[in-house]
Amino acid sequence: VEAVRVGGGLALSDGLCQRLANLCELPLERSAETEATARGIAWLAAGRPADWQRAPLERFDPRSDRDLQDRYKTWLAMMEAVSTTRD
């Protein structure tokens, strides 16, 4: 995996996009047009034109975020603890 691509309503949050890039340590790409479903339906309705223009991508490069990584590791440990008590 070279990058993560996001879309939809939550993708409009710059803060969320940056945190996701930081957490997965991969670049995150967001289309200027976040509603991919509607765009895909329009593309199909237009007969799949080869010259269909794609919206430009905005890129969030990962940054070091030790606090976020530590919180994620704590969360993973809690999830593991819960799953082992349910077995």
Residue found by looking up tokens 């309503």 in the block: 9
Distance CA 80, CA 77 (A): 5
pLDDT tens for the chain, 87 residues: list them. Answer: 999 999 888 899 999 999 999 999 999 999 888 777 888 899 899 999 999 888 789 999 999 999 999 999 999 999 999 988 765
Helix (H) or strand (E) holding 80: helix 66-86
Cα dihedral: 21, 26, 27, 31 (round 10): -70
Q: pLDDT at position 84, please?
A: 80
